[in-house]
Amino acid sequence: MEDNQAYERAKRRAEEKIEFFTHLAVYAVVNVVLIVINLLTSRGYYWFYWPLLGWGIGIAFHAMNTFVYGEGSSWKERLIQKELEKQQPKSK
C-alpha cells in the first residue's frame, strides 16, 4: 500500500513539473512572437514588455508553487521534518 501511495505522490509531482515546463515553453514562444510583432509593426513604441512582465509574474508564482511550496518540495519537506521533531516527546 505504501508503494502505491509513494508512486502516486511521485506521479503527481512529475506532472506538476511537466505542467510548469510546458507553461514556461509556451511563455517563451508566445513572447518571442509578440516581440517580433512589436518590432515589425510599431518601432517607435515598445509594448511587448507589458505581457512579458505580467505573464512573467505568473510564471514566477507557478515556479514557486511547483519548486518551493509544492507537495514534495525539499523546503516543504524540511519544514515538515522540523515540525515532526518538535512533536516527538523529549527523552529524559
| Residue at 25 is within a domain | yes
Residue 53: domain span: 2-87
* Tens digit of each residue's pLDDT (9 = 90 or more) over 71-84: 766 777 777 777 77
In this prediction, residue 18 carries a pLDDT of 95
Contact 76, 70 (CB under 8 A): yes
How many independent structural domains does the chain possess? Answer: 1
Non-local CB neighbours of 16 within 8 Å, separated by 6+ positions: 66, 70, 71
- Give the predicted TM-score (pTM) of the model: 0.74
In angstroms, the Cα distances linking 71 to 29, 66, 76, 80, 90 are: 28, 8, 7, 11, 28
Q: Is residue 68 domain-resident?
A: yes
In a domain, 92, yes or no: no
- Give the whole-angstrom CA distance, residue 53 versus residue 39: 17
